[in-house]
Amino acid sequence: MSVPPESRQQVRERAGFACEYCGVSDTDAGGELTIDHFQPRVFGGSDDVENLLYCCYRCNQYKADYWPDQPDQPQLWNPRHTSREEHLLLLADGNLHPITVVGQFTLRRLRLNRPALVSHRLRALSHSEEEHLLLRLRDLLILLEELYGHQVALLREHAALLEEQRALLRSLRGPDV
């Protein structure tokens, strides 16, 4: 397939440099992923960027040139039109669970619960939790800094009040003899 470099770059950027099916990024794969026709050219698909998807080698391989040519054949999820969450639920164990017929077919066709992807999603979930905890820690540190500032101000106010009390006591005691 000969996709012009500017179209290829547009598809890559639109996809966030990650497979639009499984989420594996260029960085994860160690290089650029592939460009795939959602509707294969042999079934009338065009080279228009709206028909092009950025995907990893495995998802591209498993999808192959699938296209339903009969009304009773299952549809494949098009990540350009709907989000993954509309068809697949991410479970705590890193597996995807289908919630629609399209999700079920896509999950099976693209083998989206292959062990490497499950591990990848678990690492991403762990990283996300770590980021969340770090943000909470940052917020707590900001609150502690504010609390420390208030404590310093209160201590200064307390010191000033003590000095006023000493001065008052000295004035009540009278002149030193």
CA dist., res. 115 & res. 1, Å (int) = 30
> What is the signed CA dihedral for 64, 67, 72, 76, rounded to 10 degrees?
70
Residue 63 lies in a domain: yes
- DSSP-derived letter for residue 21 is T
Q: Judge whether 45 lies within some domain.
A: yes
| pLDDT given for residue 175 in this prediction | 75
For 16-27, the pLDDT digits (tens) are 999 999 999 999
pLDDT of res. 140: 94
Query: Is the CB of residue 112 less than 8 Å from the CB of residue 76?
Result: no
* Structural domain includes residue 108: no
Query: Do the domain assignments include residue 46?
Result: yes
Instruction: Report CA-CA distances (Å) from 15 to 27, 32, 50, 132.
Output: 13, 12, 12, 24
Q: What is the spatial distance between Cα 103 and Cα 15, in angstroms, rounded to a whole number?
A: 19
C-alpha distances in Å from residue 60, one per residue of 37, 64, 80, 153:
9, 6, 15, 63
How many domains in the chain? 1
The pLDDT assigned to 176 comes to 67
Asked whether residue 101 is domain-assigned, the answer is no
Q: Which of 41, 101, 35 is nearest to 67 (CA)?
A: 41
Assess if residue 168 is contained within a domain.
Answer: no
Is 150 a member of any domain?
no
pLDDT of residue 177: 53
Q: Which residues of the chain have a pLDDT value below 50?
A: none
What does pTM read for this prediction?
0.73
Q: How many CA atoms within 13 Å lie on the side-chain side of 58?
A: 18
139-151 burial, b at 16+ Cβ within 10 Å, e below that, comes to: eeeeeeeeeeeee
Q: Is residue 42 part of a domain?
A: yes
Give the residue numbers spanning the domain of 17. Answer: 5-80
